[in-house]
A and B are shown apart, each in its own frame.
Chain A
Amino acid sequence: MIRDTTLAAKLWAVAIWAIVIFFVLNLFAMIGTVVTSSFATRWLGTWLPAGWTTRWYDSAWSEFQLGDVLLVTFQIVGAVVLISGILGVTAAYALARRDFMGKRLLVLLFLLPLLIPPITFGIPLATVLYQTGLAGTFWGVVAANLVPTVPFVILVMIPFIEQIDPKIEAAARVFGANTFKLFIHVLLPLLLPGILAALLLVLVRTIAMFELTFLVAGPTSQTLVVALYYAVFAAGVRAVQSIDAMAVIYMVTTLVWLIIALRFVNPTQIVTRAKQQPAH
């Protein structure tokens, strides 16, 4: 490591840390505002609210029917995680183990939904789903959410599968294992950490996925983040604190899973793909 000890270098370092601290402070203050407001009795024109209460959580829970919304959210997220896991891991296995004609084209096909922002492909997708009558239903929302998550699982899993020595599979074949047995007894245990990491990331991303759910959800298939959007959009109808209480409930649901996910993955993996592990 190279250490510059000149005055200019030190000033430069201080300036950079000042920017980082400024950013992080603002981020925490923004989250803090929401949390403080959700516990406030009355908060107008002062640094801190006049008093503290938890009654907004009660009122938010009943006003926004959060019990139902949370149940729907977890059903949708659960279905998305399960289906994208099954489709993604099998496809990733084929892509990692075989070289065939059109493989590059296929990888590009799986890469595109991750590069194109959801709102761009969401509008034509919503049009198709409305015409088939799927939009507004539970499975319509699941289908829309699967579009970016299946490719995500594939691209996270490919390097994971590539690092497993094919000789292990060959050995299992020699001893007479069929594809199913090979998968259950050899591959699954080896791949479990990777699958777990990929699916936890899918889970966190799906809870927070606003655009696709928003475009295709009906009144009974809203997830928490869409319900939050509508609440903020119609601000003025409800007390600000009630919306903030809902926002805190949303934050807690997301962050619990994020904390679990961070036990298995590196934070940078939420943005970029899993870095390929060295083979030895």
Chain B
Amino acid sequence: MLNELGHFALILAFAVALVQSSVPLIGAQKGWAGWMAVGEPAASAQFLLIAFSFGALTWAFVTSDFSLQLVFSNSHTDKPMLYKISGVWGNHEGSMLLWVLILAAFGASAAWFGSALPPRLRARVLSVQAMIGAAFLGFIIFTSNPFLRLVSPPFNGQDLNPLLQDPGLAFHPPFLYLGYVGLSMAFSFAVAALIEGRVDAAWARWVRPWTLAAWMFLTIGIALGSWWAYYELGWGGFWFWDPVENASFMPWLLAAALLHSSIVVEKREALKSWTVLLAILAFGFSLIGTFIVRSGVITSVHSFASDPQRGLFILAILAIFVGGALTLYAARAGAMQAKGVFGMVSRESALVLNNILLAVAALVVFVGTVWPLVAELFWARKLSVGAPFFEKAFTPFMLALAIALPIGAVMPWKRASFARALRPLWAAAVLALAVVALTWAVGTNRSTVALVGAGLGSWLVFGALAELWLRAAHRPMRLARLPRADWGKAFAHGGLGITFIGIGLLTAWQSEDIRVAQIGQPFTVSGYEITLDAVDQVPGPNFRSSTATMTVRQGGKLVATLYPEKRVYPVQGMPTTEAAIDNGIWRDVYLVVGDPQTGGGWAVRTYIKPFANWIWAGAILMALGGLLSLTDRRYRVAAGARKALPLQAAPAE
């Protein structure tokens, strides 16, 4: 019964979305206040209906209602509760439902917190947001209904893919969707502004928080996925340049570019049409990502629902929204007059460089991702583009970005000089060079990757600190009173530096050992003495495990006792490895146990991974930087300030 209600609520939400996507839009065009006002209650209603539908599906998973096809295919009564819940979005239909739930939540929050927005703009934003909602609700109802019943409910389910039964992965998709879908707000604002033919500082101030939030969630989502791959897949890789990873990385790069260009619009009223274009493209790449994951046109480890019909539907959505927005852009972009004037050397120009590097890097990732498809379509060649290509083609852009970033960040607006911008940074440069020297001295191999990664990373970190010191006018007391946006900037830029250091040193210095370990016989890897003490058969809730007990010693002192596992999930008939990791600031000791060998002993792989955790620590700092910027005073008080002067005419300059 509840399932049918959930299904019905979804159809009602579709109807509400259709109303919301037309009535306020017409109202805004004709100036009818009553029609414009429909947007707000409709957005709330749409959100509540989808939330009810999502709740109904979650309930079906929690109670293991196997009369639902979806629950039967993705759940099992023995599965722990956390994974019963995360199983709701561990499949195509449920994850699409989560997608539209988040979409509606963003739309509803624009309705709830956007009371200070000009009513016309708000009506148009809500309409565009509802158009996206209607398109995806239609997609779910017509091609991917999660509420399909089975005629005769089976006794138990088929369980969730064991790789997905993991806390890291339970929360990876929701964050990623919050990011993808958050960019829809920037898109809706951009389209509304194009319809209006007006982009100004106030518009940028409205768009930026949504973009910041989306970027922050994307950062967390990508980091969670990378961290999960690191500990779960059993060889400690953190990024594979898989098409689906790329699909989340391209919107991230463009969202980062959009964040920076919207600062220029907000502070200087320049780069307006470029910013609008970026907002369209960033969400466009989210849709492309959705298409890549769900259509199966590009083979990937992740594509969990490959279906040509669904692919076609999403391709149509993509074509209509991105094509429509770009057409509108072509017609209206000329109307946006830039105001701010700036010199060739200035903060504005530095941000243009940032945008060029990020956008071209995203283009490289895009071309590399679709190249196998293009080559097969036009030249009938079956080829692959993987990590070795991306590492060579993508990295130079990030290196250039890292070199320029601290300099651009301290440049003043309008007009600057290199010499003056470099002055507060010389200490940072000296410290970064010292880190390079230290890396050279400490490193076991003279790897350039280590030197470049550590050097540029510390240049970013010290550069961020030097900038804070500069903004506080060299007085420690003032640091606490700096605007949160300044702190957010320092955290985000410093976090990027930490990630650089982690990637550089891990890539250059990691060591690996593969061997047959006999029980009780110690072996040595990079100064660590490792012993396989025992291997026991342990039953789990929905799996069987061979758990090894291994001790790690250094200089005779016990460092850690680790329990790597090999699990077999009988329902799916799938084995997984559970690596055991001794986490540390300077290194991870990473142990994997394999199969028993015919001559006795077990296959064991040992990795020493220096600075691994810095990669994700940097990502956390970046996300924290986003959060700090998001809570900056100017966003908190902006709404109130605008309410105080509701009838502000064109600024009298």
Do A and B associate with each other? no
A residues with CB within 8 A of B: none
B residues with CB within 8 A of A: none
